[in-house]
Amino acid sequence: MTDSADGTRTETLREPTPAAARDIVARGIDREAIVTVYGRCTVDYEGRASSRLEAGARHVMLKPDGAALVHTDEGQQPVNWQPPGCTHDAVCEDGELILESVRSTPDERLRVRFREVLQVSAFSGTDENELALVGTEEDLRQRILEDPSVLEAEFTPLATERETPAGAVDIYGEDAAGRAVVVELKRRRVGPDAVSQLRRYVDALERDLHADAAVRGILVAPSVTDRASRLLTEHGLEFVSLEPPAE
């Protein structure tokens, strides 16, 4: 057990007995630590789908918010997991450590059985700061609202998140001729799905306004794929190349 000046505390055991491992895990969950276990284990999941993973060396993390992560040596994504909101539990059964994370709505259960525990740790610390991220779709929207002419000359934004029967439109406005314009924003290169999305909004707004004059639809993104480009043409929609600001 180690206590640091800043309140950070860690507890670690190498090759613990299953009972000792269970104690560290249980105590860690109790004090709202990040708990990690590395060893050979099997994993069973039952919930929205179901899965089984035979024995292998994996790294398991239990978070105090109820999230659980099982990582192999490959992939950015955990091979098995449980979202925040679960209740963690650690028990010994037949001389083996078992970790279980359960939630309801939907009912889901993750069960990790360790044949061998190489290391178990509990990490307590504080993290006050949140991520500052730049380059999102929201940043792209700000860029256009601050200077609508980057979209086209004399474009006038009238609303953001304007509601239609098909959902909320990113930017709603009118052009130099006073025609209604629906703008759909994407922070990166788009495919057919983005075109369909814009199409839904344009359709919905045309019905909503029941105006005879057609509503213009403009897709704003860094670039489009060939198929998306063809779809835009078919549906009479437009494209403007813009990127979210880099900083």
Q: Provide the minimum distance between the beta carbon of 172 and a second copy in the complex, in angstroms, as a whole number.
A: 18
Does 215 engage in binding with DNA (CB under 7 A)?
no
Tokens of 12: 């670690």
Half-sphere exposure of residue 118, counting CA atoms within 13 Å on the CB side? 9
Cis status, amide bond into 106, omega within 30 of 0 = yes
Contacted by 90, from DNA, a second copy, none: CB < 5 to 8 Å by type: none
Contacted by 212, from DNA, a second copy, none: CB < 5 to 8 Å by type: none
Output the CA–CA distances (angstroms, integers) from residue 242 to 39, 47, 153, 188, 215, in the order listed: 48, 42, 15, 9, 21
Q: Compute the Cα dihedral for 20, 21, 23, 28 and give only its sign.
A: positive
Backbone angles phi, psi at 5, to 5 degrees: -60, -35
Q: How many CB atoms are closer than 10 A to CB 115?
A: 13
Q: Provide the minimum distance between the beta carbon of 19 and a second copy in the complex, in angstroms, as a whole number.
A: 19
Site stretch for DNA (CB under 7 A), options 27-35, 146-154, 162-170, 211-219: 162-170
Does 45 engage in binding with DNA (CB under 7 A)?
yes
Cβ closest to DNA, residue 16 vs residue 71: 71
Does 221 engage in binding with DNA (CB under 7 A)?
no
Site stretch for DNA (CB under 7 A), options 7-15, 116-124, 208-216, 220-228: 220-228
Render the burial of 230-245: b for 16+ CB within 10 Å, e for the rest.
ebbeeeebebeebebe
x/- map, 183-212, DNA, by CB under 7 A: -xxxxxx-xxx---x--x------------
Contacted by 56, from a second copy, DNA, none: CB < 5 to 8 Å by type: a second copy
Among 166, 174, 240, 242, binds DNA (CB under 7 A): 166
Cα–Cα distance between 202 and 169 in angstroms, integer? 9
Q: Provide the minimum distance between the beta carbon of 47 and a second copy in the complex, in angstroms, as a whole number.
A: 9
Tokens of 15: 């090759």
DSSP letter (8 states) at residue 149: G
Residues in touch with DNA (CB under 7 A): 45, 47-49, 51, 67, 75-77, 80-84, 105, 108, 110, 131, 133, 135-138, 161, 166-168, 170, 184-189, 191-193, 197, 200, 225-228
